[in-house]
Structure 1
Amino acid sequence: MSDEQTAAGGEDTTPAATVIALDADAPASFDSAERAVASLVAAREKAGIPAESAEDATAEEELSDEDNGAPPVEATAEDQETDPAAKPPLELPRSWTKDRAEHWAKLDPGTQEFLLEQDRKASEAIRRSQNELAEERNAVKAQREAAEKARQHYEAQLPVLMRELESNLQQSFGDIKTMDDVVRLQSEDPFRFQAWQVHQMRLQTAKSETDRVAKENETAQQNRWIEHVQSENAKAVEFIPDLADKDKAEKLTLRVARELLPDLGFKESELAALANGKERLSIYDHRIQRLFADSLKLRDIQNAPKAVVKPDLPPVQRPGVARAPGADKAALVQSLTDKLSNSGSEKDALELLIARRASRRAS
């Protein structure tokens, strides 16, 4: 201790330190020296202590880290936000296209983060909805498959039930064949007559159900056939444009029905059954094979190279002195004369005579 701090009697004369209490809402720590100084100044003013000069108040701030031994202050998140270069650019939201990248770059970081968060929530909601829809579709599909399986099993059991009922009827009531037998059964054995009636009712119910199922299956088959015909006709229009025109399509259909199919050997009854979907035709049918063969012949004709027609031009004259008119006929007469003198045949004589007359007409 120095002499200024101690009295002669050895007592400590250092003035007592003034304790300054911070506000109750003051933070436990400060993220910057400026905020700490501002809080300290405010507390001094409330305690009635005169404020220090600006130089004294900021003296501690001007001390370097080496002088006060305090660790270096790290950059805070707020400081990083003020420096755009210190933070990497945010990527486009998934729902945005790349052509909007320039617009995205013009947005401030806060707006970008907000839009990214909204896009993430929207994507999660869409995925959640898609998963829920997929689960519902799978559940509905499973229910339909189970219902279809149960329907097929039920329809398959109806003929079996009919056969069992008819067999039981024959075994238990084989003696009841006419209406007189029924009347006699009612008068002589009412309880057996009642059992016969119940059996008849069960048999009639099973038969009605069998007829209903058969009719529904026939209707469904007809609907499928109509859809098949419409689909195939639509595909045929792509290869045969004339079918798109009603009048042309009707004429083509009539020609096929009247000229082509009868010539191949199809009967009218077969054609009607084929048109209604009640008849099936194998690809190995000889008439279908004839159609294939004719189609190949037509394709060969269409793909054959076309013959080049030579123009009817006069014969080419070789360079040199032009021959006199009738020179060719005179040469022909001389050639035939020599030929006749060697052969002496009537044929050569006739040819020579014709050549001489032609030569005289030309001269």
Structure 2
Amino acid sequence: MLHKERFQKLVEILNEQKLDAVFLAPSSDLKYITGLDFRSDSRLKGALISKEGESFFLCPSLHRDDVESVREEMHILEWNDVDWFQGAFRRGLQLVGLDGHLRIAFTRGIEAGDMIEAVEGLNVQCVNGFSLLFPMRSIKSKEELELMRRASAMNDKMMESLAVYLRPGLYEDEIIKFIMNFHESHGGNPRVPGVATGVNSSKPHYGRDNNRAIEENDIVLVDCGGWYDGYSHDMTRTFFVGAPTEEQRKVYEIVLEAQLAAEEKVAVGAIPSEIDKTARDIITEYGYGDSFNHRLGHGIGMDGHEAPYISQGNHVPLVEGNCFSIEPGIYLKGKFGVRIEDLVVLTESGREIINHYPKHLQVL
């Protein structure tokens, strides 16, 4: 169903940014405002909301039964495969009182070709709406934070089971299946986890280039995320199956020191770039600065990555309701890598880390 408070806040943002309307294509933005959960496909669909609070849903005829929840609150403009969507889109603009020169933002979930077709022949300036909802979505309600906590608690339980499961001889694909089966069997919707053993862990976002098996005295980096009830979890732990080398132990302790120090800096009003610097300076002081080659963290909620980003370029103070990761890493090319990731939320009582699975060095 339509989230009326979010809808009204979006109308306020449109007026603040001098936009005439926004088109919410299938994406988490659409779901956040309307409750409608569509996937992008070859038939354009989505909600247009004007700065006056008028709206319509552009709906392929075969989806008309899927928009019943908003029929009383939004005009439904149906189109079919014969007439295509341009005519319905134009009728919708007229219906909500939009004409003349228009500035319309388009969010995620629409292909460039569809956007061009929709406004062809109209006096419309297309505006990048990718970050339009960031101010709203980056501040989680108490209800959203409860969903985040539950999702992270399930990820904690998965890591507990995984620590018992890991052993020499297991292939990365087997570990991936174990993780996904755990979450699916508990009602979750997992993304494909990042599992990197041995030298593969030296790549920050290892792309499953090979299916390596765990060896004796090996390292296993596991980055697991997904959704429960539409809200995300995300956590990274680095395990040792057998005794780590002296260098591996040293690197692990540096990453843990940086991770803990950065978490201590998290507070309402803290600047993301300064939190990033806290972790980065520690890693640099030990001589591994060039081996930490990504931002410190990312916001999380309905999407696995969203605002606020904990990066060198973000100077916007954190506020109550923000939820994000703190995940420094060191990656030594051709050798191994270590990353430790927790999710942190800011509440009225302060900082809260919502991952509770241990992050001290573990030898399995």
TM-score band, normalised by the shorter chain? under 0.3
TM-score (norm 2): 0.16
TM-score (norm 1): 0.16
Q: Higher RCO, 1 or 2 (CA under 8 Å, sep at least 6)?
A: 2
Which is helix-richer, 1 or 2?
A: 1
Which is strand-richer, 1 or 2?
A: 2
